[in-house]
Chains A and B, each alone.
Chain A
Amino acid sequence: MGEVSRLAIPARLEEVRHACDFVVEVAEAANLDERAVYHCQMAVDETITNIIEHGYGYEGGDSQIEIICRTEGEHFLITITDDSPAFNPLEHEAPDPSEPLDTREPGGWGIYFIRKLMDDVTYDRVNNRNQLTLAKRLPAAAPLLAESGAEAEEMFPTQALNGDAAAVFPAGRLDSNTSVMLEKTLNIQLQQGHVWLFVDMSQVEYIASSGLKVLVAAWRRAQGQAGDVILSSLQPRIVEIFEMVGFDMLFQIFPDLDAALAAQSKRT
């Protein structure tokens, strides 16, 4: 176990910044890179802000929040302890970014970020105090970038249909990592002359701008070859994103793949 650094701050919002400065300093000294340091800072900010807002209801009085940093094995560990009523944030469903904007619980974002930004988060109730430990992998133990590159070589499932049509089944989160996979899958289909692409989105939980760009690029290419990209089975949260950016006007969208295929066979 490495050196231990400790700070206690009064449970007030204007004090959170001191905790952030402290964590930045210690994380830098532990050799975390700029990105990991930022992640630690934000996770600590979100944790302590949640404790003050929800744990103490802005009335922390003389209560102190304690922050302890140390390195242990492959991890930089930050333990945050407070004496507000017992609350395990990990038991609460964190809002997903794919959830429609209007139904997202704004307060839940903090917990969502803490989980996303850190490699591991654990909760304990010790001596009537809440104790949340945030772990960030130290640089040497961080996964190699090559891993995400290997993922990009994979393809989403496809199914050849009659003539010049194919169905494509992307899944999961279409973000900057996985959009490359979708791009490759769609391009290969277009190269094979499948210019009518039926993209079934039923398993897509989230789409980032990179995923939207890939769909538009494929749509342009397909249109250029007298085909089309036709979408089906969009989850409500995806529909919302499409409406926000106006893509619902661009693409033909059907409730399910069968409806999309039926509409097309009627036309031709």
Chain B
Amino acid sequence: MVMEINTSEMKRVQLFEVIGRIDSTNAAELGSALDRSVDEGRNNLVLDLGGVEYMSSAGLREMVRILKRVKRGGGDLRIANPSDRVKEVLELAGLDSIFEIYPTQVEAVGSF
């Protein structure tokens, strides 16, 4: 197992917990999981990155693509619990001012 995605349907939010590595071989898989939720009209998404040990720009690209999609539908994609390294990469990419990032899953889910 390189990457695992667990999805939970909550009252107002769809929660995605990702475990493992996100790179160019599987970023599209993460994107499709989020796409399915948006296709069903669920635009409030939380992506819990607590279990992500590594993410390359391929993962960021999918996150930005989905963010644009959910914003158009009046929703948001919020990030929970990124590691220091992933947070640093988000900041380097200038994405920390575009994504709402929360230290815990509870706060991210509660923010909607």
Residues of A near any B CB (own CB < 8 A): 13-14, 16-17, 20, 34-35, 38, 41-42, 45-46, 49, 53, 96-98, 101-102, 106, 109-110, 112-113, 116-117, 175-176, 206-209, 211-212, 241, 244-245
Q: Which residues of B contact A106 (CB under 8 A)?
A: 61, 64
Main secondary structure of the interface of A (DSSP, over half): helix
Please state if A208 and B97 are interface contacts (CB–CB under 8 Å). Answer: yes
Cα(A37)–Cα(B93), bound, Å: 19
Please state if A109 and B93 are interface contacts (CB–CB under 8 Å). Answer: yes
Q: Give 14 A-B pairs besides A34-B85, A109-B61 with Cβ atoms closer than 8 angstroms.
A: A14-B25, A16-B25, A45-B56, A46-B57, A49-B58, A102-B68, A109-B93, A110-B57, A113-B89, A176-B91, A209-B97, A212-B97, A241-B98, A245-B97
Number of A-B contacts (CB under 8 A): 75
Cα(A244)–Cα(B68), bound, Å: 10
Chain B residue with Cβ nearest A48: B24
CB distance from B54 to the nearest CB of A (A): 7
* Residue interface bits B64-87, CB-to-A below 8 A is 1, else 0: 100010000000000000001100
Top-8 shortest CB links A-B: A97-B94, A109-B57, A49-B24, A38-B85, A45-B56, A106-B61, A241-B97, A209-B96
Q: Which residues of A contact B23 (CB under 8 A)?
A: 16-17, 20, 45, 49
Q: Which residues of B contact A96 (CB under 8 A)?
A: 94
Residues of B near any A CB (own CB < 8 A): 2, 21, 23-25, 54, 56-58, 60-61, 64, 68, 84-85, 88-89, 91-98, 101
Residues A208 and B96 in contact in the complex (CB < 8 Å), given A38-B85, A109-B60, A109-B61: yes
CB distance from B56 to the nearest CB of A (A): 5
Q: Which residues of B contact A41 (CB under 8 A)?
A: 54
Cα(A34)–Cα(B29), bound, Å: 28
Please state if A244 and B56 are interface contacts (CB–CB under 8 Å). Answer: no
Chain B residue with Cβ nearest A241: B97
Please state if A175 and B91 are interface contacts (CB–CB under 8 Å). Answer: yes
Instruction: Give the contacting residue for B24; candidates A13, A34, A113, A212; CB below 8 A.
Output: A13
Cα(A244)–Cα(B99), bound, Å: 9
Q: Which residues of A contact B88 (CB under 8 A)?
A: 35
Q: Which residues of A contact B25 (CB under 8 A)?
A: 13-14, 16-17
